[in-house]
Amino acid sequence: MKETSPAASAEPAARPVPSGPPLAPGAERYLSLDLANSDLAFPGGRDEDLLGTPESAREWLVTRELAPAQAVLYDVCAGRLRALRDAVRALLSARVEEVVAPAEAVRAVNAALTSAPSAALLHWDGERGPYRAQAHPIDQIVNHAIAVLAADAADLLTAPDAARLTPCGATPCRRFLVRTHASRQWCSTRCGDRVRAARAYARRTQGKAD
């Protein structure tokens, strides 16, 4: 009898489950939208920044396959990701409002886009004289991640999908989405349910006041 080949019985590698709540429409296709949506706001004034600490930033990158699982990030790495997120959010907001984006945000995304050099750069110090060295491995990982995210932001902003970008209509949510149909206003069923519940409550209390 023929043995099952090892290839056929091998389990496919499990895709990592993204950290954070279910992705907003569009964020499954655009990593930059996912990045923009990583600073969460919930009712009752509760916030959660998925890039708030080096450990949470590491998890965010690893589950998006932008860093190897064993990567160790530092404060400065998480700070660079948050800075890129601020720039991407400014660009998405400008696109939604149909205004020219702040030049600073465009510069920040362009700097990130070109931040993945593979070249060993020239260094020069008094003891060693001139020498070439690669960036620190963690810097290389973060440079690569922000270059991918920035390129994705540039793609999203110039794609037809950009015309369907919208901020979630459920306060205090700060997420953006790419509308799947014209009437879609919310990033998630949770946000939609919250707005519908608030409207129903408003109608009930209005009814009592009449």
Amino acid at 201: Y
Cβ at position 199, least distance to Zn ion in Å: 15
Angle at the Cα of 66 from the Cα atoms of 131 and 72, rounded to 5 degrees? 65
191 binds Zn ion (CB under 5 A): yes
| Residue with Cβ nearer Zn ion (140 or 185) | 185
Residue from 57, 109, 173, 178 touching Zn ion (CB under 5 A): that is 173
Q: How far is the CB of 131 from Zn ion (least distance, A)?
A: 51
For the CB of residue 175, give the shortest distance to Zn ion in the complex, in Å: 5
Closest to Zn ion by CB, 23 or 145: 23
Kindly identify the residues of this chain, within the stretch 129-168, that bind Zn ion according to CB under 5 A. 168
CB of 41 to Zn ion, least distance (A): 9
Which residues neighbour 175 within 8 Å (Cβ) at sequence distance 6 or greater?
Answer: 24, 36, 37, 40, 167, 168, 187, 188, 191
Q: Whose Cβ is closer to Zn ion: residue 150's or residue 191's?
A: 191
Q: Which of 187, 192, 199, 205 binds Zn ion (CB under 5 A)?
A: 187
Query: Footprint of Zn ion on this chain (CB under 5 A)?
Result: 168, 170, 173, 175, 187, 191
